[in-house]
A and B are shown apart, each in its own frame.
Chain A
Amino acid sequence: MAAPSVPDVKEIQRYRQAAILGRVVLYLIVAVMLFYAISPFYWMLNSSLQLEKDVVSVPPNWVPPTLNIGNYEEIILRKPADTSVAFDKSMAGYSTFPTADVLPSMWNSFVVALGVTIINVILGCLAAYGFARLYFKGKQSLFYVVLASRIVPEVSLIVPFYLMIRGLGLLDTYMGLIVAYIPISLPLAIFVLVAYFETVPQEIESAARVDGCNRFQTLWRVILPLSAPAIVTAAVFVFLTSWNEFLFPLVLTQTMNTRPITVTLLDFVSEFSVSYARMNAAGVACVIIPVALALMFQRYFVRGLTAGAVKG
């Protein structure tokens, strides 16, 4: 380091002030960021805990004047529409009357998303190992084709899918939804896993092979235990993508037997439902599981994405 002459006191002071100012700006940015990310959730929660008359007040109530969990009771416990009005569900693709289908449809979302997660993580790990570690003809182009197939807008796949799922007799079944969701998140799962598998040192694998492990055993005993962050990331990715899917279930489900929460949510947004408090309560029901998952697994998640963002 070059030896500077005795530093000027004033200069040191200026540096220190600049450093403090810089720090203040950084904290300010983080504060704005947190406000932007979290305040919309606060607002939904806040509105869902108010009485209807408080929700529509001007100016708005920043906190509930009287805490009211009645909206939740209502969306969870109220009987479905058919007890209040005669309503032929088979005639209107989905009911526009706000019903209490929240819990059953959350269950539907959960079952389907879990099914897709299990299938895609298994298939994804196998495929990712092939792409990351084995040589075969046309590997690179195949990988890109798998990734690029997601570029086609869902809207355009809906019609062929509807015909296919109907042809298989899977309309309005869990299996039909699972089949439809698999290709949506599988490429992303493979992408995350390939990037991570490639960071596992080749030497560890070679050592296992010398010890007599075949390829499956190598994957199972060496690669997978080292890749927990990527597997969790892929699983969370797949689960959330499936839970959040909207257009496919809108077309592929007909009854409450399979309709997921994202579609049920429509009942509360439609014009027939004038209750803003209930609408927000239903919104909370729709986001609670994704939000919990994101908070629980974000640690893994950040590590699992690292390989993809840094190395590719």
Chain B
Amino acid sequence: MANILSVEGAEPAAQAGLKGWFARRMQTEGGIAAFFVGPALLLMVLLNIYPILHSFYVSVHVYNLKRPHRNPFVGFENYVMFLESEDFYNALINTVIFVVVSVIAVALIGLIFSLALNELGSGVRKWAVPLILVPWAVPYVANGLIWEWIYHSDYGVLNGLLVALGVIDKYQTWLSNPDRALYTLVNAFVWKEVPLATVLFLTALQAIPEDLYSAAKVDQAGAPRRFWHITLPALKLAFLLVLVYTSIISIKTFDLVYILTEGGPGDATALVSWYTYVETFRNLQFGSGASISYVIAIATFILAIGYIKILYRPQES
């Protein structure tokens, strides 16, 4: 950033006191930046970084609300304890299945939808895009309510529809069926997250210059080759955003579990965030709960870095 044009160095400030300090600060670009970025950063530190650090402090102590005044330091005992617990491994496996299936489904469905919308004219896009965006806007609590009612084993429309179409001959259980419950959660999640993925892919698709395709046609490249060599590379950043965003959101999934299954039947839909909640607020083991969150956060972070390493190499294009 060339700064020959900057005006802030124009007046030397010789005053003392607060005014002088301010004037001196405003002479450097870093000083000005502090006034722009400072407020947001300060709030982020106070309201996010501090709780994160505090929760680390909690995670290496015993914090049991039943005995609020005895919080001995225990080092990493909380971590060892939950890493050895079978419930945690169950939750971990559920979460891995949930995340992998959800992320693949969101990316794939979003890609297909966006390709179809991109091929059809802007006339279709104009009214179709607002409509498909709607599920993205609703709270997960409402999302849960909607799908709970659709899945209802006695009066649900899913059963009604499948019976009417002759797919099944009598009403089935969905949320209370241990083999299906996790996938019913996945569906409710995918339903809400596909719209944003579709829009992100679509905006990337629309930004591809038309002459790239024309040139490829002149060179006799068939549709599959054009897709592979022009479309997919142009979608790289959109893919990165969708994968990282969906992974993070899916790992944190909590509201849906709370409304739809409460981790049940049995522990078939206990995801790590739900397990953390139970440990923290039902068993009142704050220390243990905080330690689990820490491990989840670090795992998510490594995953995000991994995506970036794979998909986002510099010197692209």
Contacts and interface: CB of A to CB of B under 8 A. Distances in A.
A30 B120 contact: yes
- Grouping DSSP codes into helix (H, G, I), strand (E, B) and loop, the B interface class, with mixed when no group exceeds half, is helix
A261 B50 CA distance: 29
Contact of B58 (A40, A159, A269, A306): A159
Interface string B284-305: 0010011011101100110010
A182 B47 contact: yes
B135 interface: yes
Contacts of A214: 7-8
B306 to A, nearest CB: 13
A27 B120 contact: yes
- Grouping DSSP codes into helix (H, G, I), strand (E, B) and loop, the A interface class, with mixed when no group exceeds half, is helix
A134 B52 contact: no
Contacts of A145: 49
A7 interface: no
B195 A153 contact: no
A91 interface: no
Contacts of B124: 30
Given A149-B52, A153-B252, A244 B297 contact: no
Contact of A157 (B6, B7, B51): B51
B199 A156 contact: no
Contacts of A139: 33
B164 A59 contact: yes
Interface residues of A, number: 102
A156 B293 contact: yes
A26 B135 CA distance: 21
Interface of B: 1, 3, 5-8, 29-30, 32-37, 39-41, 43-44, 47-52, 54-55, 58, 63, 112-113, 116-117, 119-120, 124, 128-142, 144-150, 152, 154-157, 160, 163-164, 171, 191, 194-195, 198-204, 206-207, 218, 237-238, 241, 248, 251-252, 254-255, 258-259, 272-273, 276-277, 280, 286, 289-290, 292-294, 296-297, 300-301, 304
18 contacts: A30-B120, A37-B131, A37-B194, A60-B156, A130-B37, A135-B30, A136-B29, A152-B48, A153-B296, A155-B254, A160-B55, A280-B145, A283-B146, A293-B137, A294-B133, A295-B130, A305-B200, A309-B203
